[in-house]
Amino acid sequence: MAASSPAPEFQRASYGRLALIAGIVVIADQATKLAIMHTMQLYQSLPVIPGFFNLTYIHNPGGAFGFLAGQGLILRRVVFIGLSAGLAALVFWIYRETSRHQRWMASGLALIFGGALGNLVDRIRIGEVVDFLDFYLKGWHWPAFNVADSAITVGITIFVLQMLFAKTPARES
């Protein structure tokens, strides 16, 4: 019977990767939102690709797809700041438990973390999230979104694909 080699020592993903990716997301998100806020009027829409894509400056008082948008400011702030901070903390904890060999997983989590922080900044600063990317086709119109939302979506996609298809390294306790 052949001797089995010991499991490799578990090494956590680099916090440098988290800081770099999340930092880029937050900076890109906030920079694009500030550019929109300083160059456009609220509710103004500029066609970029007619019949498909506009820059449309709106404030989203609710969550995804306008969730809780009709509720009072205090309730929305408590719920959404709490959810954003809780999501960021959960993603940070999962990141902490990610092996340095799981680069795609770590990158996906860093995108989610950066996106959550980008929208959290808006919630704290103005009580709402600035959205401006507006895609549509004929009668179909996707709700406007921003760079942070995009990072969260890409990060979640990477996370799910990694959970479904990637081999996870063994971890010794």
Inter-CA distances, 77 with 127, 156, 158, Å: 6, 24, 29
Domain range annotation of the chain? 22-44+64-128+147-165
Q: Distance between CA 170 and CA 2 in Å, rounded?
A: 20
pTM to 2 decimals? 0.83
State the virtual CA torsion across 142, 147, 148, 149 in degrees, nearest 10. Answer: 10
Catalytic sites, residue numbers: 131, 149
- For each of the chain's 173 residues, which pLDDT tens digit applies? 555 544 456 677 778 899 999 999 999 999 999 999 999 999 999 999 999 999 999 998 766 655 666 666 677 777 778 888 888 899 899 998 898 889 999 999 999 999 999 999 998 898 889 999 999 998 899 999 999 999 999 999 999 999 898 776 554 44
Q: Is 72 helix (H, G, I), strand (E, B) or coil?
A: coil
Helix (H, G, I), strand (E, B) or coil at 117: helix
Rounded Cα distance between 139 and 82, Å, is 35
